[in-house]
Amino acid sequence: MKVLKRFLAACLFALAPAAAVAEELPQLRAAMLASGTVNWEISTIKTHELDRTNGFELKVQDYADNGATRVAFEGGEADTVVADWIWVANQRASGKDYVFIPYSRAVGGLVVKDDSGIEALPELAGKKIGIAGGPLDKSWLILRAYAKQQHGMDLAAETEQVFGAPPLIFKSALSGETAGAINFWHFLAKMQTKGMRELISVSDAAAALKLDPDTPLLGYVLKGEYAAAHPDIVKGLYTASRTAKDLLRDDDEVWEGLRDQMNAGNDSEFIALRDGYRAGIPSGKPIDEAAADRFLRLMANLGGAELVGKATSLPSGLFLRLE
């Protein structure tokens, strides 16, 4: 028994330095949407210890909705949050020194039933469109601008809009209650495995409007003072995120470990979600700030101060340079 005790004590002593090193890693507190697709990247980072490899420990705090994650971030309960850069521009223009690291350029589109016979936006005139995210949804605003430019159509005036939560828009479109639907990309991926097709993608609409479809809409948001005080952690987050994306883009096997949290009903949905995520991975090239400025001005024109606040042009320093 004494020999066993000495052996166990020796093992604990040998493990102590490693434990101490782990404890010494600085933590980056991330407020995340519990059901968000960002968790696929976060899980990949944690599973492969990409945070530790890059000199920090990612400490994830789950929240029920995006509003709660932003409250936690603004209140100092978290160091980073995932949000769209239009919101960051709004906050920055109001005097808050928030900065943005690209995460995803995944955007949605407008889908109709395969057998609907609808081949172009004007054919939706007089019909119902289901829209997730409300009247200020960025995809809806871009498609409105596209319809005006390409077809001379006022999509808001010439259709009936039904706004609702993504699951509701999902169900109402599949049941035929609406003729078309604009939803978050991962819901659209599932919808296209259930007898619906894309009429127009937001990426194609953005390109037609001379915007840059490669501009990532979503990103990790940090406070400028935090980024200045912890440059190594911020660089580590960027590197961990890019490495996780490389794995998710190139290695099908990595996705098998994510199946349980993807909420895919079958293999077709699983593949659609995987491929949709991959399509949204940013190129890694520097953001075209002139294109981003054009995008923001369009959002300001269509969404007004309720969407962009005082940010009628791109605030300087919004996109954090890490290269």
Residue 193 sits in a domain whose CATH number is: 3.40.190.10
204 and 117 belong to one structural domain = yes
pLDDT digits (tens, 9 = 90+) for 197-225: 999 999 999 999 999 888 999 999 999 99
Q: Is residue 262 domain-resident?
A: yes
pLDDT digits (tens, 9 = 90+) for 124-153: 999 999 999 889 999 999 999 999 999 999
Helix (H), strand (E), coil (C) string for 103-129? EECCCCEEEEECCCCCCCHHHHCCCEE
Q: Is residue 319 domain-resident?
A: no
64 and 113 belong to one structural domain = no
Q: Is residue 114 domain-resident?
A: yes
219 and 188 belong to one structural domain = no
Question: What is the β-pairing status of strands 98-104 and 128-132?
Answer: unpaired
The alpha-carbon radius of gyration of the chain (Å, integer) is 22
Domain boundary among 208, 241, 262: 208
Q: Which two tokens stand for residue 193?
A: 């495995």
Return d(Cα 55, Cα 88) in angstroms, integer: 27
Q: Is residue 252 domain-resident?
A: yes
The count of domains in the chain is 2
150 and 225 belong to one structural domain = no
Q: Is residue 66 domain-resident?
A: yes
143 and 272 belong to one structural domain = no
Domain boundary among 159, 175, 208: 208
With b meaning 16 or more CB within 10 Å and e meaning fewer, what string describes 277-313?
A: bebbbbeeeebeeebbebbbebbbebbeeebbbebbe
246 and 298 belong to one structural domain = yes
Q: Is residue 144 domain-resident?
A: yes
Return d(Cα 90, Cα 96) in angstroms, integer: 9
57 and 9 belong to one structural domain = yes
101 and 113 belong to one structural domain = no
pLDDT of residue 323: 62
Q: Can you give the residue range of the structural domain that contains 27?
A: 2-105+215-308
Domain boundary among 174, 208, 242: 208
95 and 165 belong to one structural domain = no
185 and 147 belong to one structural domain = yes
Q: Is residue 314 domain-resident?
A: no
Q: Which residues in the chain show pLDDT less than 70?
A: 1-23, 323
48 and 78 belong to one structural domain = yes
pLDDT of residue 23: 57
Check if the beta carbon of residue 25 is closer than 8 Å to that of residue 58.
no
Q: Is residue 249 domain-resident?
A: yes
| DSSP 8-state symbol, 319 | B
- Sorted by sequence, the CB contacts under 8 Å of residue 105 that are 6+ apart come out as 213, 214, 215, 216, 217, 218, 280, 281, 282
101 and 6 belong to one structural domain = yes
